[in-house]
Structure 1
Amino acid sequence: MDYTPSDRVYLEDDLGLDTAWLAARIVEDPALLALGETELAVEHIAPSDRPGSLTVHLADPTAGIWHVAEVKLSDADTDQVLHVLTLWLGSHTDPTGAERQPSVVAEHIPPAVARAVLMAQEVAPLGAYELHALQVGDQVVLHTEPVHPPEVTDAAADHELATRLAEAVARLQGHSPEQAADLRLRMIGRLYRHDDRGPADPPAPA
């Protein structure tokens, strides 16, 4: 669907719609989240322990994948990335043995969050998606698009974010500080390998 930026609205800020409304729409049409290429079934959807967010579990029986996502109104944040990683690390498979696919979904994915998702892919097959709402007459149309990481712009901020992610993963998995430091370097390396214009080796933080 083609649209201009002025067509886009935010569910809560512009329309006064809440997570209960969004949950009902997802139940009606799980495909609106665009998390799979085949038909998805809602297995569980509930308010997250984070405000303005839903925890959504979708099954893709054809592909043998169990999607676990946090869907957030308004802007995503790096805490959302950590929350989804926690859900994924808690169990890599669902009770039937299907592969788990974690995703961050929000109405807006800021650049820092997109970079965090890319770094987190060092440990999990994490995806990032923007949920767009368009008002067409008296109807609200929803669709979701994948978000691609921006090119590196702030090395110091990226190093700080990598440290936070690596330390969180280490705590969840019971890893040593040395393992956390190694993961941090691998996360930074992944980020800079993604940037074709970036240096071969990541720069040290300022």
Structure 2
Amino acid sequence: MPPKYTKPERLWLKTHPEISEKWVQARIAEDPSILGLGDLVLRDQERMQPRAGRLDLLLQDPESKRRYELELQLGATDESHLIRTIEYWDIERKRYPQYDHCAVLVAEDITSRFLNVISLFNGSLPLVAIQMQALRIDDQVALVFTTVFNELSRGLVDEDEDAEATPTDRAYWEHRASKGTLGLADEMLKMARECEPGLDLKYNKFYIGLSRDGQPFNFVTFRPRKNHMILDLKLPQSEELTQRIDGAGFETLEYNKQWRLYRLSLTKADVTQKAEPLRELVKLAYEQRTS
């Protein structure tokens, strides 16, 4: 039997008597992935800007140094919101230059005139325009986001600094990733404890690190995903070490030169079948950290 078709009703939230901009903002904050920009996490909401009002949402890609300064607008786009979006983006990038920044404007109606204007910025600043549709299906409301203008130059991959890391707990990561891949972090902890017996996992919003006597001690960090885990090893890049890692058969991501990180994408089979070369890499990172 084919599925039953239901025609949705388009809602215009600008004039809706019950649904407000705050309601839409809350839905995005609950699940930023609905924007279609990737698996983003909420960094801040209604963020105060010096002498410039409040930024609606600050989002971040947990696997990179890219932050998204998002302004939300019900109804059609206008010049004031575009200026505000660019202004907030500029403030944030100057305050936090260690991150890559992208301006995002979300509106119900992005006009052709507006697209012509923002196309002038292409190549000058990273700007994304997303058109939002609210659809009523029976007694429920859905939000659909469509990127109509995109400039996504990716930033450098890195962990968030310990000073800015937001503490979470194991339950957060079980929901965000899976118990299976979280178990890989447990196995890696056992290897790390061979170097330093008193280490524990330290759960943060963007990664899982290590702690010693309650303080961060990150010579390796972990980022569990649904089907794999990313292992970050703080080691200086060398041809010999790169060949050693490649020779062990690991799937590697691009080396982060700014933060001196080797990044490996690990599966359960990697951790069990390649335990010895992993143990050696963890030991090297520990020795680098303590030397």
Q: Which amino acid aligns with 1:89?
A: D
1:30 aligns with 2:29: no
What is the match of residue 157 of structure 1?
none
Q: Percent identity?
A: 23
Q: 1:61: Cα distance to partner?
A: 1.6
- The answer (yes or no) to whether the contact 1:93–1:100 under 8 Å persists in 2 is no
Alpha-carbon distance in 1 for matches of 2:144, 2:84:
23
Helix, strand or coil at the partner of 2:93: coil
- The answer (yes or no) to whether the contact 1:72–1:106 under 8 Å persists in 2 is yes
Alpha-carbon distance in 2 for matches of 1:135, 1:121:
35
Q: 1:14: Cα distance to partner?
A: 3.5
Alpha-carbon distance in 2 for matches of 1:66, 1:98:
7
Q: 1:60: Cα distance to partner?
A: 0.6
- The answer (yes or no) to whether the contact 1:48–1:55 under 8 Å persists in 2 is no
User: In the superposition, relative to structure 1, how do residues 47 and 63 fare at CA in structure 2: closer, same or farther (>3 Å)?
Assistant: closer
Alpha-carbon distance in 1 for matches of 2:137, 2:34:
16
What is the match of residue 112 of structure 1?
113
- The answer (yes or no) to whether the contact 1:75–1:106 under 8 Å persists in 2 is yes
What is the match of residue 146 of structure 1?
147
What is the match of residue 43 of structure 1?
43
User: In the superposition, relative to structure 1, how do residues 119 and 3 fare at CA in structure 2: closer, same or farther (>3 Å)?
Assistant: farther
- The answer (yes or no) to whether the contact 1:81–1:116 under 8 Å persists in 2 is no
User: In the superposition, relative to structure 1, how do residues 40 and 148 fare at CA in structure 2: closer, same or farther (>3 Å)?
Assistant: closer
User: In the superposition, relative to structure 1, how do residues 96 and 48 fare at CA in structure 2: closer, same or farther (>3 Å)?
Assistant: closer
In structure 2, which of residues 8, 11, 15 is the aligned counterpart of residue 9 of structure 1?
11
Greater share of residues in helix: 1
> After superposition, what is the alpha-carbon deviation per residue over 1:35-87, rounded to whole angstroms, capped at 9, x for unaligned?
x22x21111122899xxx96211011213210011111111112222111111
Alpha-carbon distance in 1 for matches of 2:6, 2:72:
22
Alpha-carbon distance in 2 for matches of 1:17, 1:83:
23
Alpha-carbon distance in 2 for matches of 1:77, 1:64:
30
What is the match of residue 155 of structure 1?
none
Helix, strand or coil at the partner of 1:27: helix
What is the match of residue 100 of structure 1?
101
1:81 aligns with 2:82: yes
| Structure with higher RCO (Cα < 8 A, 6+ apart) | 1
- The answer (yes or no) to whether the contact 2:67–2:99 under 8 Å persists in 1 is yes
> After superposition, what is the alpha-carbon deviation per residue over 1:88-133, rounded to whole angstroms, capped at 9, x for unaligned?
2224266482200111110110111111111122421111110111
Alpha-carbon distance in 2 for matches of 1:67, 1:96:
13
Helix, strand or coil at the partner of 1:107: strand
TM (norm. structure 1) is: 0.60
Runs of 4+ in 1 over 4 A off after TM superposition: none
The total of aligned residue pairs comes to 142
Pairwise CA RMSD: 2.9
Unaligned runs of 5+ in 1: 150-206
Alpha-carbon distance in 1 for matches of 2:48, 2:24:
13
User: In the superposition, relative to structure 1, how do residues 91 and 83 fare at CA in structure 2: closer, same or farther (>3 Å)?
Assistant: same
Helix, strand or coil at the partner of 2:113: helix
User: In the superposition, relative to structure 1, how do residues 17 and 77 fare at CA in structure 2: closer, same or farther (>3 Å)?
Assistant: same
Alpha-carbon distance in 1 for matches of 2:6, 2:47:
30
Alpha-carbon distance in 2 for matches of 1:130, 1:141:
14
Alpha-carbon distance in 2 for matches of 1:130, 1:15:
21
Greater share of residues in strand: 2
What is the match of residue 18 of structure 1?
20
Q: Which amino acid aligns with 1:13?
A: T
Q: 1:33: Cα distance to partner?
A: 2.0
Moved more, 125-134 or 89-98: 89-98
User: In the superposition, relative to structure 1, how do residues 138 and 45 fare at CA in structure 2: closer, same or farther (>3 Å)?
Assistant: same
Alpha-carbon distance in 1 for matches of 2:93, 2:87:
11
Larger radius of gyration: 2
